[in-house]
């Protein structure tokens, strides 16, 4: 691998097995902490993985829906908690079949072009599943939830979405991978959320018209059983190939000092939005 994926060192922080005791708000506070740390040279390039149970992550634009509370009430009745993230995009579904991955890079003096960050993640996912005879495309899948120009899809069905977060000369390229389970069922959940939260009201922002049939999980598309552990193994193999040193390490002392502040910012943002 060349380009951004080629790093002298890759540190892996694997929180994919933390389960229900690890909340999504902590994840976004952690990624901000890592951006600040990696960006200031206090840590090497870092890959962080995590899984959250029954969580709907909303984008800032989602909080402007005219009947937002009705949509949130529906999600909570289905057993999902809701939070608002600090990176771009719209509503996405996280559950035990969805693996989240952040690649945190230090910005070079010239900076990292936004498309270069997306391309690096796309390349990584292609390499991870290169043994399957399926082309992984990067283009917007109309009808998907949280659509974007770097939706990852196979045969026109989206299984992943990518976003970016930039802070303190650090760049976090974040992806959610629908590993197993039903992509269409997840999309149905988001479709009903928008139906209740928007109703027939005119809005300045164009929210997606969800078509559940255009979304699927990797297991569905590849026609094989696939677990979070399987995907983690593939990820570690690729990172090992693209660095002189791959090691697992927790937050360092510098990051442990930073984390409470960044975590509190995420909490405060969500509390402000909840009070609106």
* Active-site hit among 47, 101, 146, 173: 146
Q: What is the DSSP letter of 258?
A: H
Nearest residue to 172 (alpha-carbon basis) of 50, 2, 1: 50
- Is 178 one of the catalytic residues? no
What percent of the chain is helix, strand and coil (3-state, nearest 5)? Answer: 40, 25, 35
Angle between helices 114-128 and 228-241 (to 10 degrees): 110
Contact 275, 49 (CB under 8 A): no
248-253 CB contacts, 8 Å cutoff, 24+ apart: 248/11, 248/12, 248/13, 248/14, 249/11, 249/12, 249/13, 250/13, 251/13, 251/30, 251/33, 252/37, 252/42, 252/43
Active site residues: 146
């Amino acid at each position: 691998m060349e380009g951004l994926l080629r790093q002298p060192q890759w540190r892996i922080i694997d929180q994919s097995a933390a389960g229900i005791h690890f909340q999504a708000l902590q994840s976004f506070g952690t990624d901000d902490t890592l951006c600040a740390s990696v960006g200031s040279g206090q840590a090497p390039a870092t890959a962080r993985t995590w899984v959250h149970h029954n969580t709907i992550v909303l984008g800032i634009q989602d909080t402007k829906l005219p009947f937002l509370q009705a949509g949130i009430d529906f999600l909570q009745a289905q057993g999902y908690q809701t939070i608002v993230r600090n990176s771009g995009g719209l509503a996405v579904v996280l559950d035990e079949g969805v693996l989240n991955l952040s690649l945190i890079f230090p910005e070079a003096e010239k900076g990292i072009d936004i498309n270069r960050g997306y391309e690096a993640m796309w390349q990584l996912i292609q390499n991870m599943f290169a043994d399957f005879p399926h082309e992984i495309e990067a283009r917007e899948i109309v009808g998907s939830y949280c659509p974007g120009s770097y939706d990852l899809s196979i045969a026109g069905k989206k299984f992943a979405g990518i976003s970016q977060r930039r802070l303190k000369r650090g760049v976090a390229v974040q992806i959610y991978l629908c590993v197993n389970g039903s992509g269409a069922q997840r999309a149905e959940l988001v479709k009903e959320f928008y139906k209740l939260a928007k109703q027939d009201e005119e809005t300045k922002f164009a929210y997606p018209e969800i078509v559940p049939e255009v979304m699927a999980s990797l297991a569905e598309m590849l026609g094989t059983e696939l677990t979070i552990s399987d995907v983690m193994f593939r990820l570690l193999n690729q990172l090992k190939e693209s660095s002189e040193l791959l090691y697992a390490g927790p937050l360092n002392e510098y990051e442990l000092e930073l984390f409470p502040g960044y975590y509190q910012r995420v909490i405060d943002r969500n509390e402000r939005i909840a009070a609106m």
